[in-house]
Amino acid sequence: MYKGNRHPVRFSRKINETYEDETTSKTYSCPRGHTFKTNNPIVIAVDGDNDYNTGPICGYCYVDWFKLNLNANEEHVE
C-alpha cells in the first residue's frame, strides 16, 4: 500500500492520524553530550512490554559500551 506514490506505508509511522515520513532526520542529544542526527534511531524493544522499550539510543555511547565491555584482544600464539 502506497501513500501519495512516494513510499510504502511500512516506511512511515502513523502519528495523530497523519503519517510522518521516516526520511526526515531529527537531531538528538544524549546525557553524555553527544549530538547526532538520524532518520532511523537505534531503539531496543521488548515485544509485548512497552515499559522495557528504550527511546533513541546514542550511537556513540553504544559503540563506546561495546568497545569497553565486549572488545576482544588478539592473542599471538607462537
* pLDDT tens for each residue of 37-50: 999 999 999 888 88
The whole-chain average pLDDT of the chain stands at: 80
Residue 75 lies in a domain: no
Quick one: pLDDT at residue 21? 56
Residue 76 lies in a domain: no
- Residue 22: how many CB atoms within 10 A of its CB? 13
Q: Residue 34: give the domain boundaries.
A: 2-70
Place of cell 549530538: 35
Residue 78 lies in a domain: no
**What value does the mean pLDDT take over residues 57-63?**
94
Quick one: pLDDT at residue 12? 47
Q: Is 49 exposed, middle or buried (0-12, 13-18, 19+ CB in 10 A)?
A: exposed
Residue 18 lies in a domain: yes
What is the pTM for the complete model shown?
Answer: 0.57
